[in-house]
Amino acid sequence: MVSPIPPAFIYLLGAVILPFIRIRRIQQLVALLIPVAAYMNLLNMPQGTYWIYPFLDYQIVLGRVDKLSMVFGYVFVIISFISMVYAIHIRETGQHVAAYIYVGSSLGVVYAGDLFSLLVFWELMAAASVFLIWYQKSPASLNAGFRYILVHVTGGAILMAGIVIHVATTGSTEFTGFNFDTLASKLILIGFIINAAVPPMHAWLPDAYPEGTITGSVFMTAFTTKTAVYVLARSFAGLELLAWLGAVMSIYGVVYAVLEKDLRRLLAYHIVSQVGYMVCGVGLGSEMAINGSSAHAFSHILYKALLFMGAGAVIHVTGRRKMTELGGRQLYKKMPLTLVLYMIGAFSISGVPLFNGFISKTMIVAAAGELHRPLIELMLHLASVGTWLSVGLKLPWGTWFGLSKGDEDQIDAKEPPVNMLIGMGLASLLCVLTGIYPELLYNLLPYPVDFHPYEAGHIVSTLQLLVLTVAGFWLLLGKIMSGEPTTNLDTDWFYRMLGRYLMQFCNVWLKQASTALQQFSASKAAAISRLGQNPYGIVDIIATGSFDSAMTTANPDNPPDEKTQRRFSIGMGVLVSLVFLFVFGVVYLTVPAIWGG
């Protein structure tokens, strides 16, 4: 029997309840039980459509349950539990509230069967997740959060425009596949790919994720981009454009990751790269490709959270986040368990056999081969090499190892709190378990799976790439690890500069123009007021040809006295009145005669 409450609302209600629990241990217990309740709820959701409510002339559908939505639903709930275990030591309840609203809205997107509820949950995701950045409470996180929310509000506005046009032209709010030939579908696609971090609309991700809280960034790795992959698979599967965009993403993110020295910024660029595999699989559109994208989303959520947990543990313990500040401090002796758990994530993302990334990534590459896309297949292979180089070799070497800097430069470090290690351990266990027994994952995928990753050819070719990359890294170690800690320019430079000039325009140029206009208006208003006090001043205006010179005495703060104010005799007024009456009489008497009146 289906639960009376949608999975999204379990998290949303939990987020409301948590602040009212004052006993810390009970609050921690409730925070951990919320994902457990959500998982039990998923187990009681057979395929079908549930929680349907009338809205105007349409229907709100909060529960469209099929295999595609369930694979994302399961992994979202699983990672929410693991991430909360990792974050349970945090005393700021607001972080947990923001995280669970974020998780709940992501599940709302996954199970939405109509475009209205999709849009509401889509925007709620952005509104909740930005607080996971702002809770870092630094100037950098404040600025990054504002840029993050501006990008997502813009994307949401584009998505809403597409939905409104679609509903107006078709009369349907059903969330299903779209015809890419229409304007509405193009706008909807743009709204989706902004959240998927497709270049050049990707820079919000490496800009914001490194500036979030240590635990908040772990949550953020799992949901925003993967909900975008889900909605793309639901509505634009087989779109050729996405296949090429995804292939470019996989290379683009790797190139920037190789250049990075900041731990979380490097890992953030690899989110762009790995989501590229998923977007590419959606664009390829075959059953194997869609299975590969879904499986890779599942695997990526686990290993990317694990990688951010490992990097976050180092930052939590040392207070340092750049390899140039960590290399040579012999952290491998002080944080060996963190290193081992991190390397499980590194092996997974690099597609090493026996880890889950090998299972899912190989499926997408094989799908490209079956569809005779050799260039896309080559690009995905190159991205794998770059991933292993940067995440599996460069980052652990630069963080835990490196050339010794002497005793005076050593860091007083130790393993992170136990709950952080447990969270990393749970994620590591699932990465290994689904890598060794891929059937656990295959049974969740949208289509039947007829793929065997552990064929000799796959294993040998993968190991060749990995070993050759290790050799190249060792030979070029000095060049790869050299360089100063700098910020690499990306496409966010354009809207940063645009925003800077816009602020300058508003604060300087527009303010100066406003001040000048205000002064001009005040002087003219004062002169007109003075003219009202002395109507015969119009004679001076005619005589001098200057309104300002004739009205120089029109200063409301310094009214004219009898000596300076111009006066005319009463006779002049009578004369002007008689002239006016004479002219009026002549016109009144002659006009009817002229027109035969």
- Tens digits of pLDDT across the chain (597 residues): 566 789 999 999 999 999 999 999 999 999 999 999 999 999 989 899 999 999 888 999 999 999 999 999 999 999 999 999 999 999 999 999 999 999 999 999 999 999 999 999 999 999 999 999 999 999 999 999 999 999 999 999 999 999 999 999 999 999 999 988 899 999 999 999 999 999 999 999 999 999 999 999 999 999 999 999 999 999 999 999 999 999 999 999 999 998 888 999 999 999 999 999 999 999 999 999 999 999 999 999 999 999 999 999 999 999 999 988 887 788 999 999 999 999 999 999 999 999 999 999 999 999 999 999 999 999 999 999 999 999 999 999 999 987 766 655 678 889 999 999 999 999 999 999 999 999 999 999 999 998 888 988 889 988 998 999 999 888 888 777 766 666 677 887 777 777 778 777 887 777 788 888 888 888 777 777 766 666 655 655 665 555 555 555 444 455 555 444 445 556 666 677 777 777 777 777 776 655 555
Specify the DSSP element, H or E, that contains 89. none
pLDDT value at residue 344:
97
C-alpha 282/C-alpha 236 separation (Å) is: 7
**Cβ neighbours around 248 below 10 Å, total:** 18
Task: Give the list of residues 6+ apart from residue 165 with CB closer than 8 angstroms, or none.
Answer: 182, 183, 184, 187
The percent of the chain in helix, strand and coil, each rounded to the nearest 5, is 75, 5, 25
Is residue 200 reached through a cis peptide bond, with omega within 30 degrees of 0 on the bond before it? yes
The contacts found for 130-134 with CB under 8 angstroms, 24 or more apart, are 131/94, 131/95, 131/98, 131/216, 132/95, 132/98, 132/99, 132/102, 132/212, 132/213, 132/216, 132/217, 132/219, 132/220, 133/208, 133/211, 133/212, 133/213, 133/216, 133/220
pLDDT value at residue 2:
63
pLDDT value at residue 592:
60
What crossing angle do the helices spanning 240-259 and 374-387 adopt, rounded to 10°?
Answer: 30
Closest CA relative to residue 271, chosen from 203, 215, 323, 324: 203
Q: Assess contact for 432 and 337: CB atoms under 8 A.
A: no
Q: Assess contact for 206 and 490: CB atoms under 8 A.
A: yes
DSSP string, 193-226: HHHTT-TTS-THHHHHGGGS-HHHHHHHTTSHHH
Bridge partner residues of 59 (DSSP): 54
Distances (CA, A) of 326 to 263, 386, 405, 410, 595: 10, 22, 10, 9, 101
SS3 396: helix
pLDDT value at residue 77:
97
Distances (CA, A) of 388 to 279, 342, 352, 411, 416: 20, 13, 9, 27, 25
